[in-house]
Amino acid sequence: MVFKEFGTINAPTIILLHGGGLSYWSWESVISLLTPEFHVVTPILDGYGENANKTFLSIENSADQVINYVKEQCNGHVFAIGGLSIGAQIVTEVLSQNANISDFAVIESALVCPIRGTRLLAVPICKLSYKLITKRWFSKLQAKQLCVPNALFERYYTESIVISKQTLVNTILSNGTYKMKEEIKKTSAKVLVIVGEKEITVMQKSALMLHRAIPNSHRYIAPSMKHGELSLTQPKQYVEQLRQLFSQ
């Protein structure tokens, strides 16, 4: 995992984890709003972007890497940690493994209810989609589904064509089979759970499960928004939600 750092290192640290198919650049608009006050760290998951030479293994493995980074570079504790989609699943796992790692956490569009048939269908889906990854028209469809802003499409396309088939398989498997751990209930962090109003039922169910399981949590349903749309396309609104969380 590669850790990009922005802002003043002595300021309170916020870690932000990107979603599948994306990289640290998906947070750039959010970073620009936060760095006047915070030290922002944006990990690049194994298998993606500048870290494409490695293979993404699992949500649990990624969480271990984040926890080790916090131990080694941040004295075992950060001000906040947040993530989108599979990045949010990693945040959920981090909080489950280490109850006191952060004061605050933001979980946006995290799937915590396993999807039936994922193990059976992951490889066939990847074989089909991997052949299409290099096609610009297919990438444009994927980018639209992921709510990637038009201004970021070229970076998305350039990096999507270097993702390995194994990383794609492991990402789909890990994402679709991840289940919320009971240990999440022990986290001391104040948590904001975000889900788009237009997200599918299983995502709405996941957000509600997390909210009910985490004692110090608030659920925010982003009006008229799809999966990941809040942080990716409405950075000012996203940061406003963060500031409301931090003011608690």
**Under a CB-based contact definition with an 8 Å cutoff, are residues 209 and 185 in contact?**
no
What's the pLDDT tens digit per position in 160-201? 889 998 999 899 999 999 999 999 999 999 999 999 999 999
pLDDT at 134: 81
Q: Give residue 124's pLDDT.
A: 81
Nearby residues of 75 by Cβ (< 8 Å), 6 or more positions away: none
> How are the residues of the chain apportioned to helix, strand and coil, as percentages rounded to the nearest 5?
50, 15, 35
**Amino acid residing at 234:** Q
Q: Where are the chain's structural domains? A: 2-113+178-246
What CA–CA distance (Å, rounded) separates 144 from 160?
14
Residue 143 confidence (pLDDT) = 87
Assess if CATH 3.40.50.1820 describes domain 2-113+178-246: yes
**pTM of the predicted model as reported, rounded to 2 decimal places:** 0.95
Polymer length of the chain: 248
Low-confidence ranges of the chain (pLDDT < 70): none
